């Protein structure tokens, strides 16, 4: 029990969030150096999401073991939410560093790549011709905005709602009830 008193869910989540965030930023930079066009590919997005989700589950289970093997849903939810917020903040700062300081022209290159990918996808479904040039121009502007500092901060703000929903799911996965108390 002493260990449970020493490690609060918030403190454990801060440490886990720091690690997850640094891994995500490192992965972004590694992919950037390998081939930056992968940053807007669908497979990369799915792989990063799975890794992100998996690491939070791993660290949540590790924390659960540290506190005695059982964790309530509330504690698991709190752990997941703080971990996601901290890692999301670190990732956002890393992205701002990449797109504003290290390679400011990268945003324009990725917007072009992302627009081409989307048009290819729409073309495969036979819907590319249904978009007007005004709609394409609006989509380009929205994509460009995502790479600005205000767009990155706004994206983080939107992510907070997504993090809350993901934390509900992750909390349900991480929690473990002590069934020996079911008398």
pLDDT exceeds cutoff 90 at 125: no
Q: Give the residue-averaged pLDDT of 136-162.
A: 91
State how far the Cα of 149 lies from the Cα of 111, in Å rounded to an integer. 15
Q: Which residue range is the domain that position 59 belongs to?
A: 2-177
* CB-based contact 57:173 (threshold 8 Å): yes
Question: Does some domain include residue 131?
Answer: yes
Question: Does some domain include residue 87?
Answer: yes
| Cα 54 to the center of its chain, rounded Å | 11
The 10 Å Cβ neighbour count of residue 115 is: 16
Cα angle 177, 65, 56; round to 5: 90
State how far the Cα of 73 lies from the Cα of 35, in Å rounded to an integer. 41
pLDDT exceeds cutoff 50 at 3: no
pLDDT exceeds cutoff 80 at 176: yes
- The tokens of 114 are what? 């992302």
Question: Does some domain include residue 182?
Answer: no
How many domains would you assign to the chain?
1
Banded pLDDT at 21 (limits 50, 70, 90): very high
Question: Does some domain include residue 150?
Answer: yes
Q: 21: which residues sit within 8 A by CB, 6+ positions away?
A: 86, 87, 88, 89, 90, 91, 94
Question: Does some domain include residue 92?
Answer: yes
If you count them, how many residues does the chain have?
183
Question: Does some domain include residue 29?
Answer: yes
State how far the Cα of 6 lies from the Cα of 128, in Å rounded to an integer. 58
Question: Does some domain include residue 183?
Answer: no
- The tokens of 90 are what? 């670190």
State how far the Cα of 64 lies from the Cα of 182, in Å rounded to an integer. 20
Tens digits of residue pLDDT in 68-91? 999 999 999 999 999 999 999 999
Tens digits of residue pLDDT in 44-64? 999 999 999 999 999 999 999
Q: 80: which residues sit within 8 A by CB, 6+ positions away?
A: 13, 56, 60, 166, 167, 170, 171, 174
């Amino acid at each position: 029990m002493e260990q449970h008193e020493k490690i609060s869910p918030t403190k454990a989540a801060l440490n886990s969030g720091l690690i997850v965030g640094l891994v995500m930023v490192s992965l972004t930079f590694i992919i950037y150096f390998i081939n930056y066009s992968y940053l807007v590919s669908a497979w990369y997005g799915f792989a990063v999401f799975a890794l992100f989700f998996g690491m939070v589950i791993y660290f949540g289970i590790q924390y659960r073991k540290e506190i005695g093997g059982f964790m309530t849903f509330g504690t698991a939810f709190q752990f997941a939410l703080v971990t996601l917020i901290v890692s999301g903040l670190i990732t956002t700062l890393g992205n701002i560093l990449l797109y504003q300081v290290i390679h400011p022209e990268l945003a324009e290159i990725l917007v072009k790549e992302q627009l081409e990918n989307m048009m290819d996808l729409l073309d495969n479904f036979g819907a590319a011709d249904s978009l007007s040039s005004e709609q394409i121009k609006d989509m380009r502007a929205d994509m460009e905005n995502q790479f600005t500092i205000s767009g990155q901060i706004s994206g983080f703000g939107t992510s907070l709602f997504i993090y809350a929903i993901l934390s509900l799911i992750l909390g349900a996965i991480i929690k473990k009830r002590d069934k020996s108390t079911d008398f």
